[in-house]
Amino acid sequence: MFELPNIDLPLYVFLVVFGAYMVFYVLYSLFNIYHLVRYGVYGFGLYLIVTVFTGGTILLVAGSTFLLLEYNWMLPISLENATEFYNEDLFPAL
């Protein structure tokens, strides 16, 4: 059977991945807002859409930040038991 060495993966690795996703999301959002304001039809609807989108983004980022603050991100995740549920039927021989 396949044996993994005793590897401990710190939990903050997932936080780094989430942070990278948030950076790309913010850059893409700024790109979209710029194009809405620059090339959109001026009026109340445009400003309402931009305001609702920006407010929703701020609420979601703030909510996820407050939810993630309560975790201890320095705890390690052990990969020692990762193959415990391995079954030969899961990966049949070709």
Q: How many domains does the chain have?
A: 1
Looking at every residue in the chain, the average pLDDT score rounds to: 83
Residue 32 domain-assigned (yes or no): yes
Q: Does the predicted TM-score (pTM) go above 0.75? A: no
Q: Is residue 17 part of a domain?
A: yes
pLDDT of residue 84: 64
Q: Is the pLDDT of residue 4 over 80?
A: no
The whole domain housing 25 covers: 8-78
Structural domain includes residue 87: no
For position 81, what pLDDT does the model report? 65
Question: Does 3 fall in a domain?
Answer: no
pLDDT at 63 over 60: yes
- From residue 46, alpha-carbon distances to 2, 18, 23, 64, 67 in Å are 57, 30, 25, 27, 32
Q: Determine the pLDDT at residue 52.
A: 94
